Amino acid sequence: MAHAHTWDEFEPVGMRYRIIDKVALADGRGLAKKAPLPDVLTPRMSKRMQVTPGHVMPPVGELVYFGVRGRAEQLRFMMHYAGLAYTFRKVEGSEWGEMKPTTPRGQLPTFTPEDEEDAIAETADIAKFIAGMSNVPGLMPADAAVADSAYKMFEVVNAPVCSQIMFATNLMPAAEAEGKLTNIVADCIKEVQAFGSELKGTFFGGDKPHYGEFALFHEIDLLRINDASVFATLGEQWKSWFEAMLKLPGIEAYLKSRPKSMSGEVGFPGSRIATLPLDD
């Protein structure tokens, strides 16, 4: 009778130097959802089974971005919710000039699947890829129209209008951002409100969130820490949705673990998030 492999058979190796996101590695849902291993392992699969004791799974890929709450934050929310371990490389501003020509389309974030060489560049494409690799029900919508809407959410949140709040929070000098904040918040709210008609249950995806909701969640999170009256404008249904997102598995732990405002670890020097107590 053929021997069935188990996860416990593989010899542990030291933690890979790039793995700094321990919250994702501590979430057991990633392992619980994996299918049984085949009887015959390919060399690539054998390599991926080398895990550090206590870690639920090898990383699914490397996410590269700056030390700001921007486009990569949406992807990190997704992966923590899905229980996917990943590596994160923080790019310093001093590195970017030399690094930029080596990245697809000269932009970040990028995501390189584990054991592959080609990076994915567009945030919406990365999100779709992550949703597709996940076993979490509902993350990748089965309905084509809902799947198109999920992708559109990532595009809208990362387009110039909605991106203003990310720049005002993380990059602009605080005094400059303060004078623009009222208009920025109003413009961003107008963009996201267009999706309101699709919110007919607890989540846009029904009883489970789809991947596009993590882009909206990130956008509303930035809006609310800059303007406490956001939900008064958006309405009670949006507030209930946001609170439901906060309670999702993996999200609370990640929010507690990420660098806090004024910590010196997030945002450009002099920005709002670097100089003001924006976090709860």
Give the Cα separation of 223 and 234 in Å (integer): 11
Q: What is the pLDDT of residue 135?
A: 81
Residue 169 lies in a domain: yes
CATH number of the domain residue 105 falls in: 3.40.30.10
Q: Are residues 160 and 249 in the same domain?
A: yes
Residue 2 lies in a domain: no
Residue 165 lies in a domain: yes
Q: What is the pLDDT of residue 12?
A: 37
From first to last of the 280 residues of the chain, give the pLDDT tens digit. Answer: 444 444 444 433 333 334 445 555 555 454 434 455 566 656 555 544 544 334 456 788 899 999 999 999 999 999 999 988 888 999 988 899 999 999 988 899 999 998 788 899 999 999 999 999 888 899 999 999 999 999 999 999 999 999 999 999 999 999 999 999 999 999 999 999 999 999 989 999 999 999 999 999 999 999 999 999 999 999 999 999 999 999 998 999 899 989 999 999 999 999 999 999 999 7
Q: Of 151, 137, 147, give the one whose Cα is nearest residue 29.
A: 137
Residue 280 lies in a domain: no
Model's pTM, two decimal places? 0.82
Cβ burial, residue 180 (10 Å; 0-12/13-18/19+): middle
Q: What is the pLDDT of residue 200?
A: 87
CATH number of the domain residue 200 falls in: 1.20.1050.10
Question: Number of structural domains, the chain?
Answer: 2
Q: What is the pLDDT of residue 114?
A: 85
Residue range of the domain that includes 197: 144-275
Give the Cα separation of 207 and 211 in Å (integer): 13
Residue 269 lies in a domain: yes
Of 107, 133, 159, which residue sits at a domain end?
Answer: 133
